[in-house]
Amino acid sequence: MQTIVTKRREGSGGMVGQENARRLGWLGTGRMGAEMARRLLAAGCDLAVYNRSPARAEPLVRLGAKPAGSAAELAARDIVFITVGSSDDLISAVLGRDGLMSGTAGAAPKVLVDCSTVSAEASARVRAEIADRGTALLAAPVMGNPKVVQAGKMTAAVSGPRDAFVIAEPYLNMLGRGVTYVGEGEVARTVKLCHNLFLGVVAQSLAETTILAEKSGISRQAFLACLNKSVMGSLFTGYKTPAYVNLDFEPTFTATLLRKDFDLGLAAAREHEVPMPVAAIVHQLIQSLVGRGYGDADFAALLQQEAESAGLSLVSEHADVPDGLGTSET
């Protein structure tokens, strides 16, 4: 994609040839992390990887990554990316007994890039403690699920010291569609929360309008094809289309997890005194979805709940619909 490559070049001050300027590390190669690390390897970067259960790092090693024997071993790299599952995991992976910063040799990366979704509190704590060792933290929560990453379409909001961002930016841009620097400290965490609030609202509105279309005599496939072609179409409405058409509620993100994000997002809104009437209603609808037994289903089950409230029995349309992620950008 010409356009986007161009944009990256402008945005990052020149990417070509930078792929080996820095020695990189990746801590935590679960599903998301592995997809992202794979893109750095594909771009020719010098990457060392570590995962608690080493088996999950092996596919990356086969692609050319250097295996690290411990988190602490990654401390010798210039930039270390982290993708872990929770706030506690972040703290223990970085500050814990055998963590990244536990080495006695005193080596420490210049920049730590945390791509996980963790609390602002955990992030701030790690930031403060590693600053003493001369390491800067970038909060870079990823927007997009593993399939989105694989398709080369993830992005991230990034916050922290701007000079650290300048160092990491070329590599961050290799991970997907490019990233956005949003400010100092933990503000990128808030951007992620805003993103997910928006996503939940869009999912509910999509459910409402799809059911109205269906009760008016229009197939879900036709309605969503049309919406996706319109100015309202997004990668999100595209990749949720198969779920809405064929009622595949196999979770990529459960209703319970989305409720968690709404808990946090609305708590942030309360802290900053921002009324969010629409997000608040969607929060309650997600709570209702959980109460009605769809907590472990994908949040796309909002469609099911909406149909039941409209007195409509849904059946799969068994249609062959694209998810818009079929082709990787690279």
Site for its own copies in 190-219 (CB under 8 A): 190-191, 193-195, 197-199, 201-202, 204-206, 208-213, 215-219
User: How far apart are alpha carbons 319 and 248 in whole angstroms?
Assistant: 12
Burial (Cβ within 10 Å: 0-12, 13-18, ≥19) of residue 258: buried
**Residues 54/189, Cβ–Cβ less than 8 Å:** no
The sign one gets for the Cα dihedral 8, 10, 13, 17 is positive
**Residue whose C-alpha is closest to residue 26's, from 73, 102, 80, 66:** 80
**Residues pairing with 276 in the sheet:** none
Stretch that binds its own copies, among 26-34, 37-45, 48-56, 310-318 (CB under 8 A): 310-318
179 binds its own copies (CB under 8 A): yes
Among the listed residues 6, 309, 316, 328, the single contact to its own copies using CB under 8 A = 309
146 binds its own copies (CB under 8 A): no
Among the listed residues 280, 317, 319, 323, the single contact to its own copies using CB under 8 A = 280
Q: How far is the CB of 66 from its own copies (least distance, A)?
A: 31
108 binds its own copies (CB under 8 A): no
Among the listed residues 102, 119, 234, 246, the single contact to its own copies using CB under 8 A = 234
User: How far apart are alpha carbons 295 and 254 in whole angstroms?
Assistant: 6
Among the listed residues 17, 105, 275, 313, the single contact to its own copies using CB under 8 A = 275
**Residues 76/27, Cβ–Cβ less than 8 Å:** no
Decide whether 53 or 230 has the Cβ nearer to its own copies. 230
Decide whether 102 or 234 has the Cβ nearer to its own copies. 234
- 263: region left, alpha or beta (phi > 0 left; psi from -120 to 50 alpha): alpha
Strand pairing class (142-143; 155-159): antiparallel
Compute CA 210 distance to the chain's CA centroid, rounded to the nearest angstrom.
26
Total residues at interface with its own copies (CB under 8 A): 88
Among the listed residues 103, 183, 253, 323, the single contact to its own copies using CB under 8 A = 183
Decide whether 60 or 225 has the Cβ nearer to its own copies. 225
Half-sphere exposure of 303 (CA within 13 A, CB side): 27
169 binds its own copies (CB under 8 A): no
Block residue for tokens 């290799």:
174
Q: How far is the CB of 310 from its own copies (least distance, A)?
A: 4
300 binds its own copies (CB under 8 A): no
Report how far apart the first and last C-alpha atoms of the chain are (Å, whole number): 8
Q: Which residues contact 109 (CB under 8 A, 6 or more apart)?
A: 25, 74, 75, 76, 77, 78, 79, 80, 100, 135
278 binds its own copies (CB under 8 A): yes
255 binds its own copies (CB under 8 A): no
**Residues pairing with 50 in the sheet:** 27
225 binds its own copies (CB under 8 A): yes
Q: How far is the CB of 168 from its own copies (least distance, A)?
A: 16
247 binds its own copies (CB under 8 A): no
138 binds its own copies (CB under 8 A): no
Among the listed residues 148, 175, 247, 257, the single contact to its own copies using CB under 8 A = 148
Among the listed residues 26, 165, 171, 223, the single contact to its own copies using CB under 8 A = 223
